[in-house]
Amino acid sequence: MTDSWANSAPGPPTASGADLHLELDLEGPGLRSGLMDALREAVRTGRLVPGTRLPSSRSLAADLGIARNTVADAYAELVAEGWLTAQQGSGTRVARRADPRTAAPAVPRAKPTRRRPTYGLLPGSPDLAGFPRAQWLAAARRALTVAPHDAFGYGEALGRVELRTALADYLARARGVHAEPERVVVCSGFHHGLMLMAEVLRARRVRTVAVESYGFDVYRDLLTSAGLSTPPLYVDDRGARTEDLARLRGACAVLMTPAHQYPTGVALHPDRRAAAVDWARATGGLILEDDYDGEFRYDRQPVGALQGLDPERVVYFGTASKSLAPGLRLAWMVLPAELVPEIVAAKGHVDWSSALEQLTLAEFIASGAYDRHLRSMRLRYRRRRDQLVAALARRAPGIRVTGMAAGLQVVLELPRGTERSVVRAAARQGLAVGGMAQFRYEVADSGWQLPEQDALVVNYAAPPDSAWAGALDALCRVMP
């Protein structure tokens, strides 16, 4: 018989000590030496790290079903050899110093890695230091206090009704979304929601989803890996050229960022908003609207969600990733009524998101804390943006800044042919920035060529306050 687990084997319950995984032949000869070999091996391989407290001899003997004296003798001999230490009141622990002649390194030596940037201005993240910890904790306490017992169960696939109700009210008020709790589905991020939508589209025999010619390649790759063709819908200074949708063969859906095109920052022109909805109505197509940073508007009136123009032809995606933090893993879809059962089936009829986080966000929104947080962050981000524009005007007056009326990033237009060298120079300064080329999507022989545009996409929101001045100085130093 081989006992692989201590503190989980049948026997009297133990009062203290860590769980131990030991390969020990209880029927073989030399029980004490076998126990000692198993403990040495656990230390050598790093499964027992220096300082780990071992179970008492009584506990380990009871768990393994062997005599206590056997364990005590094994411990004593390993202490004498230097593998373990024993001190009154502190128990038996793995020794801090191992014998270099016998012990292998506990942790394999890591391969050299590239130096981590000192400053991160890559698009995609808010200021994580600005997460409202105290207010979130207060909302969590209130939500947990009144949470019904069924909140601790598996939950329904749509998500907690408290969050769906709060979102329906908020989205109607703040983003002009036609939302009812029964149409809202909670998911664990936009990526998860798009994955579900891709599965539904495939089940509907859709084969082609148009995507904007500038965008995040991860989402395009997700659609492609789901077996969907992704022809580009080209973007210019008025947003996506939605009048071209009718000429895209077989396109039955389109993924768009109409309120603030990612990453160029262009708002979709009203005529093109209307053209997109007209196309969807005429063809039975779907518009997948990614409203990734819809709450952040500075120098213009807020642009309402496209979904409000036709709730039956637009799937609205929203997320807490930019407004709060991506680590919450909370996002939502507002669906045409006919799609709700299909998305629920794609989710496997289960809720993927933490019920407690959903209840906390519902309370955070209902209490007004969400609106207060957004107002505070708008002021902070606008101040950052203004400082960036002013610094570039002083130190790099030839750089044109665009896409700055909303969102968390701006586009810095560079002299032709300099984008790659500027990105490399920034890296040498410890500054992580994104070049426009990494967001450009072109298909050979498509009949439409994107104009060459050398530019940086700079996220002014991400650095914490303590790093912002240094990041801004480093950015100005690398401008041509």
φ/ψ of residue 107, rounded to 5:
-125, 125
Shared-domain flag, residues 272 and 417: no
CA-to-CA dists, residue 160 to 125, 211, 292, 356, 369, angstroms: 26, 31, 22, 9, 19
Total Cβ atoms within 10 A of residue 347: 21
Q: For residue 49, tell me if it sits in a domain.
A: yes
Shared-domain flag, residues 328 and 393: no
Print pLDDT tens along the chain (480 aa).
444 444 433 333 334 456 677 777 666 557 888 888 888 888 888 888 898 888 888 888 888 878 888 888 888 888 888 899 988 777 888 998 644 444 444 445 555 555 567 889 999 899 999 999 999 999 999 999 999 999 999 989 999 999 999 999 999 999 999 999 999 999 999 999 999 999 999 999 999 999 999 998 999 999 999 999 999 999 999 999 999 999 998 999 999 999 999 999 999 999 999 999 999 999 999 999 999 988 999 987 778 999 999 999 999 999 999 999 999 999 999 999 999 999 999 999 989 899 999 999 999 999 999 999 999 999 999 999 999 999 999 999 999 999 999 999 999 999 999 999 999 999 998 999 999 999 998 765 555 556 668 999 999 999 999 999 999 999 999 999
Predicted confidence at residue 17, as pLDDT, reads: 54
Shared-domain flag, residues 201 and 349: yes
Domain limits for position 251:
130-367
Supply the DSSP string of 278-301, one letter for each residue: HHHHHHT-EEEEE-TTTT-B-SSP
Q: For residue 298, tell me if it sits in a domain.
A: yes
Total Cβ atoms within 10 A of residue 71: 27
User: How far is the C-alpha of 334 from the C-alpha of 165, rounded, in Å?
Assistant: 12
Q: For residue 417, tell me if it sits in a domain.
A: yes
Query: What does the block give as tokens for 344?
Result: 């629920």
User: How far is the C-alpha of 467 from the C-alpha of 1, rounded, in Å?
Assistant: 60
Q: For residue 106, tell me if it sits in a domain.
A: no
Q: What is the mean pLDDT of the chain?
A: 88
Asked if 281 and 310 count as a contact pair (C-beta separation under 8 A), the reply is: yes
Across the strands, what pairs with 20? Answer: 6
Number of domains in the chain: 3
Query: What does the block give as tokens for 200?
Result: 């539904």
Burial class for 239, CB neighbours closer than 10 Å (0-12, 13-18, 19+): buried
Judge if the upstream peptide bond of residue 50 is cis by omega within 30 degrees of 0: no
Q: For residue 99, tell me if it sits in a domain.
A: no
Q: Which of 351, 367, 383 is the last residue of a domain?
A: 367
Shared-domain flag, residues 342 and 237: yes
Q: For residue 88, tell me if it sits in a domain.
A: yes
Shared-domain flag, residues 443 and 340: no
Shared-domain flag, residues 39 and 54: yes
Shared-domain flag, residues 85 and 161: no
Asked if 369 and 142 count as a contact pair (C-beta separation under 8 A), the reply is: no
Supply the DSSP string of 84-114, one letter for each residue: EEEETTTEEEE-SS--TTTPPPSSPPPPP-P
Q: Which of 347, 367, 387 is the last residue of a domain?
A: 367
Q: Which of 367, 389, 422 is the last residue of a domain?
A: 367
Q: Tens digit of pLDDT for each residue in 371-392? A: 999 999 999 999 999 999 999 9
